[in-house]
Amino acid sequence: ARDFYKTLEKQEGLPAINTELNFVFEGCYTTHADIKKYNRVLENALPQAEMLSAAAALYGRNYPQDAFTDAWRKTCFNQFHDIFDGSAIHGSYAYSKKLFNIAYETAVLELDGSLKTMGSKIKFQEKTGTPVLVFNTLSWQRDDICEIKIPVGSAKEKFRIFEGKNEVPSQFTGIEEDENGKLFLKIVFIARDVPAAGYKTYYALQGSGPQIGGGESLRAGVTSSTIKAENKFYKITIDPLTGCISGIFDKENSYEILPTLESANMLQLLFEKPHDMSAWNIGKISRTEDLSLDCTVTLVEDGPARIRVRVCRVFGSSSFCQDIVLYDGMRRIDFPCRVDWQEQGTKLIDSPMLKVAFPFSLKESSARFEIPFGSITRPANGHEYPSQKWMDVSGITESGIAYGLSLLNDSKYGCDVKEGVMRLTLLRSSYDPDPRPDKGIQEFTYSLFPHKGRWDARTVRAGYELNNPLVCIPVERRTSNVVRQDLPEIHSFLSLEPQNLILTAFKKAEDSDDIIIRFYESEGRETSAEIKFGFQVKEAGETDLMEKEIRGIPLQDGKITLKTGKYEIKTLRLKM
């Protein structure tokens, strides 16, 4: 190999390729939805657990280095190409699920233990109910939905949520009973201004008085011809006959996002003709069928924190339930889905593939797709493209303003854009080598994120927020006085600016007790990074990806400033 490259160095005029070396086997982006979900869950859960464990280690908890190494090895094993792309035999996925379960159990165990350690160090207010710790593992301050379970002795008990002395709009969503018969009250609320890579404390107080309403114009309405949902940013209209969205009005920009007479959140079945290597390849499409009939549409939640409209329908032996969720004061519109997929492909009949479609009306539009540590523009030609957490179409409205739509997801990788429609591929029914890769219950969420202006780091952040929910747990008050309570009720361990810089790792070093942080530039522009620390750092240095130091970095007033190139990945070592 060395001789080969030495020979090349002597030649002149060699062609240069400065674009992607894709695309083959487009079916692999979607086949075997289970392994795609396992991978995405662990890509998010393990870094979250590492961050919380590294933070808890600052206060005496043991950092489980060996457990994380084992969990990452199992995660990476499942990324072997014939496993992750869905082209392995059926039996191999039982082993992959076992590896996932072990790695996920590690993440949950360490995350829970770390939160309990930090919870024991926080000086909570006296006699103010049950503390609720809300942790944000992303490197920017954010607002997002918080879902908690409060242990109760009776299903009749009621709780309200407070931030200090101020009540926060919240709503009761149900009672859950565990295997031991213990009851839990389920409550949701919007946690606001949760610090970057840090936490904020709320309190759950028992009481049956009336809950305060939402402050951001959150309301719903039902008539025989429409169901409407509205918050500070949007008015959404749902057609009860089709279950599709017939209007999304952007109140801030006085702009109707959907083209006239078009429907959004349209489930479509594309039928692939029989073909070889069906797990790898998408066959020629014989017909497309919109799922726009025979549905039930129900307003299932109408509270001060969120509105939830449920759309259910049946096709063949499969059933589909989608929720359309609008939150108080949030720009993201979520679509959590539960599909019982029973479609069976064979070499003798056309096999259905499930997509969801969102039309748009933008001139001079361009399509952009997230790739690892960056994004790329591709032709809007209907080709099946791979993407990570988001795809985006940005352009110009009829009134001349720059505008865009981002379609986010929590576990899907195939998508396409053509002729004013963006689509996310949800499920397939390939038949070889595995004759039944996706039969059964499938759960996933995609989201719509409209934005004024063309795409930027707002879309990148929205994708991370969907994939990294706030970690919210009630904390048992400490009764012993042995442990010092030094932490405040609200704290940030690290913040990273400007917004185009994205933190991807906050963990212990592989070879010492130093802390490693890693981030990248997401917009393709050079910038100056400013990193502020909420803990004492004595020395800092830049390293390569293997954590070998390249150079020292000066610290000033508890922060670091350094130049970062476009799409550059930076890794820093911090000595305590």
Q: Please provide the distance, in angstroms rounded to a whole number, between the alpha carbons at the two ends of the chain.
A: 43
Strands 285-290 and 266-272, by their bridges, are antiparallel
Lookup: tokens for 127: 């006699």
Cα–Cα distance, 453 to 401 (Å, whole number): 7
Beta strands, E only, 379-429: 385-386, 390-396, 402-409, 414-418, 421-427
Answer yes or no: same fold for 130-206 and 493-575. Answer: yes
Distance, C-alpha 176 to centroid of its chain: 25
Tell me the CATH class for 130-206: mainly beta
- Output the pLDDT for position 157: 87
Nearest to 369 by CA among 463, 265, 452: 463
Cα–Cα distance, 117 to 475 (Å, whole number): 10
Instruction: Encode the chain (576 residues) as per-residue pLDDT tens digits.
Output: 899 989 988 888 888 888 888 778 999 999 999 999 999 999 999 999 999 999 999 999 999 999 999 999 999 999 998 999 999 999 999 999 999 999 999 999 999 999 999 999 998 988 788 999 999 999 999 999 999 999 888 888 889 999 998 999 999 999 999 888 899 999 999 999 999 999 999 999 988 655 666 555 789 998 878 999 999 999 999 999 999 999 999 999 999 999 999 999 999 999 999 999 999 999 999 999 999 989 999 999 999 999 999 999 999 999 999 999 999 999 999 999 999 999 999 999 999 999 999 999 999 999 999 999 999 999 999 999 999 999 999 999 999 999 999 999 999 999 999 999 999 999 999 999 999 999 999 999 999 999 999 999 999 999 999 999 999 999 987 655 555 668 999 999 999 999 999 999 999 999 999 999 999 999 999 999 999 999 999 999 999 999 999 999 999 988 999 999 999 999 999 998
User: What is the torsional sign of CA 475, 478, 484, 485?
Assistant: positive
- DSSP-derived 3-state class of residue 507: strand
- Output the pLDDT for position 395: 97
Residue 73 has phi, psi (to 5 degrees) of -65, -40
Ranges of each domain in the chain = 26-121, 130-206, 219-466, 493-575
How large is the angle between the packed helices 33-57 and 65-77, nearest 10 degrees? Answer: 160
**pLDDT per position as a tens digit, 13-29:** 888 888 888 778 999 99
Cα–Cα distance, 60 to 188 (Å, whole number): 32
* CATH code for residues 26-121: 1.20.1270.50
Cα–Cα distance, 126 to 22 (Å, whole number): 60
- Output the pLDDT for position 14: 86
* CATH code for residues 493-575: 2.60.40.2220
Distance, C-alpha 354 to centroid of its chain: 21
Fold of 219-466: Beta-galactosidase; Chain A, domain 5 (2.70.98)
